[in-house]
Amino acid sequence: MRIILLGPPGAGKGTVSNLLKNHDGSVHISTGDILRNAVKEGTPLGQKAKEYMDRGDLVPDSLIIDMMEERLKEPDCQKGFMFDGFPRTIPQAEALGELLSKIGMKLDVVINLDIGKDVVLDRLTTRRTCSNASCQAIYNVKSMPPKQEGICDKCGSPVIQRSDETEEAILNRLETYNNQTAPLIDYYDQKGMLKSTAALSSDEVVKDILAAL
C-alpha cells in the first residue's frame, strides 16, 4: 500500500502504522522518528532541526523534502509505504507529488484521522516513548503503561516523555497543525484521494484503511 496518514499529533498515526506493518511489507516512514534519530546522532540535519522540534514548530520544508527524496530512493519503499507525519505543508505535498511521478509511483489513498483537540491533548500529555532510537515503542501512563514503570517492555530501555510533549510545546504543535497541515485535508479531498475516519480505536481505524484500499 502507498498511503499518507494525516491527523494532528496524538491522533494515533504511529500506532496504526505499527498495526499495519505486517500487512503487506509496506514500510512505516515517520519523519518525526527520522528527525529524532538525526538529533540524537548529532548529524548536520539533526543540528538544524533540533530547535524547531523543541519548540513544536515545523522543520523547514527544504530540509524535509531533501530528506524524503533520499528516503524514497531506498529499496524497502518498493513494497509500499505508510507516511506518518509527512507531508505536513502544501509545499511538501506538492514536492511529494513531483517526487512520486518522477519515480513512477502513485498514492493509493490519504487517510485523515479526524479527532478532537481534547482527546489529543490528553493522549499527548500522558504519552511516553521508549528512548532507544531503534525501538521507540509508544506507551500511555493511563491506558497502556509499560509492565515495569519507566522501562520498555520490548527492549528494556528507559521510557521517557519526549521534550516536545510538554503542555506548552503540545499546544504549539496543535496550532501549527491547524495552520499548516490541516489545509492538506482539502488539498487531497479536491484530488479525490481523501478518506476520513473518526474512529477512536486504532483497530477500527485499521479496518477503515483496509476497506479504503
Does the annotation mark 128 as catalytic?
no
What is d(CA 211, CA 3) in angstroms, rounded to the nearest whole number? 13
- Residue ranges in 62-81 that form contacts with ligand AMP under rule CB under 6 A: 64
Q: Which of 85, 115, 187, 199 binds ligand AMP (CB under 6 A)?
A: 85
Q: Using CA atoms, how far apart are residues 61 and 119, in angstroms rounded to an integer?
A: 28
Give every strand in the sheet of 2-6, ordered side by side. Answer: 27-30, 81-84, 2-6, 109-113, 194-197
Residue 35: CA count within 13 A, CB half-sphere: 26
Q: Please name the residue that has the C-alpha cell 474512529.
A: 199
Cα-Cα-Cα-Cα torsion 63, 64, 70, 72, nearest 10 degrees, comes to -170
Name the catalytic one among 13, 36, 123, 195.
13
Please identify which residue in 86, 139, 187, 188 interacts with ligand AMP, judged by CB under 6 A.
Answer: 86
165 binds ligand AMP (CB under 6 A): no
Q: Which is nearer to ligand AMP, 186 or 207 (CB)?
A: 186
Active site annotation includes 127: yes
173 catalytic residue (yes or no): yes
- 41 in helix, strand or coil? helix
Asked if residue 9 binds ligand AMP (CB under 6 A), the reply is: yes
Reply yes or no on whether 36 is catalytic. Answer: no
| 88 belongs to the catalytic site | yes
Supply 14's cell numbers: 504511529
Q: Does 35 bind ligand AMP (CB under 6 A)?
A: yes
The C-alpha atoms of residue 166 and residue 181 are separated, in whole angstroms, by 21
Residues 91-120 within binding reach of ligand AMP (CB under 6 A): 92
Asked if 146 touches ligand AMP (CB under 6 A), the answer is no
Q: Is 38 in the site for ligand AMP (CB under 6 A)?
A: no
Residues at the site binding ligand AMP, with contacts judged by CB under 6 A: 9, 31-32, 35, 52-53, 56-59, 64, 85-86, 88, 92, 164, 173
Catalytic center residues: 13, 88, 127, 162, 173
